[in-house]
A and B are shown apart, each in its own frame.
Chain A
């Protein structure tokens, strides 16, 4: 079965710094989703990537899917305290449901 590995598990960055979170799949990705979660709350949909080489941006967050469609990265530019939370990647598991990585916890210090 497909597995998603996220790295790093946790990250502490100073406000204003850039950062990258990676998501690697054991199989080809047919749909890759990025979510953000505040502690104790639901998941907020950020972006969905489907094509090899695809890149999407929303405000200061950019997500990319590599050409081989086995790795995705989430890049935050000039981090702010509002970016703090848990970032999860999810993959379309043969059109049935999503499977998820274990998440990356981001803390932003001011």
Chain B
């Protein structure tokens, strides 16, 4: 079974804090993704990565950065958290057969 895990299910942070969201997959997938999900807006792509140390901006990269030092791990960084970054964050990895598997999500609240 493909497994995508995320470091936290729930997270509460204060405005201005630096926030790290970690994602690990165990299937040796090349491609990994970070989305955020908001009511009425659906899922939106923040960043993705095709390989180690490689990153590409998605549709809404502003206020975020990413790190991919190892193939299995893809981290999302909020340099200075703001209240408009309160959201559900979903990590995914993409297998060679085309299927995309998601982690359980991190519900982040910024106060």
Residues of A within 8 A of B (CB): 31, 33, 35, 40-45, 48, 50, 88, 90, 92, 96-103
Contacts and interface: CB of A to CB of B under 8 A. Distances in A.
Contacts of A48: 97-99
**Among A31, A42, A43, A90, which residue has the most Cβ atoms of chain B within 10 A?**
A42
A102 B40 CA distance: 7
Contacts, number: 50
B48 A97 contact: yes
A4 to B, nearest CB: 9
B60 interface: no
A96 B42 contact: no
Contacts of B100: 33, 45, 90, 98
Interface of B: 4, 33, 40-43, 45, 48, 56, 58, 88, 90, 92, 97-105, 107
Contact of A50 (B40, B42, B92, B98): B98
A20 B49 CA distance: 35
B105 A97 contact: no
Contacts of A43: 90, 92, 102
Contacts of A90: 43, 100
21 contacts: A31-B98, A33-B99, A35-B102, A40-B88, A42-B90, A42-B104, A43-B102, A45-B100, A45-B101, A45-B102, A48-B97, A48-B98, A48-B99, A88-B43, A90-B100, A96-B48, A97-B48, A98-B33, A98-B100, A99-B45, A102-B41
A103 B102 contact: no
B45 A97 contact: yes
A14 B23 CA distance: 38
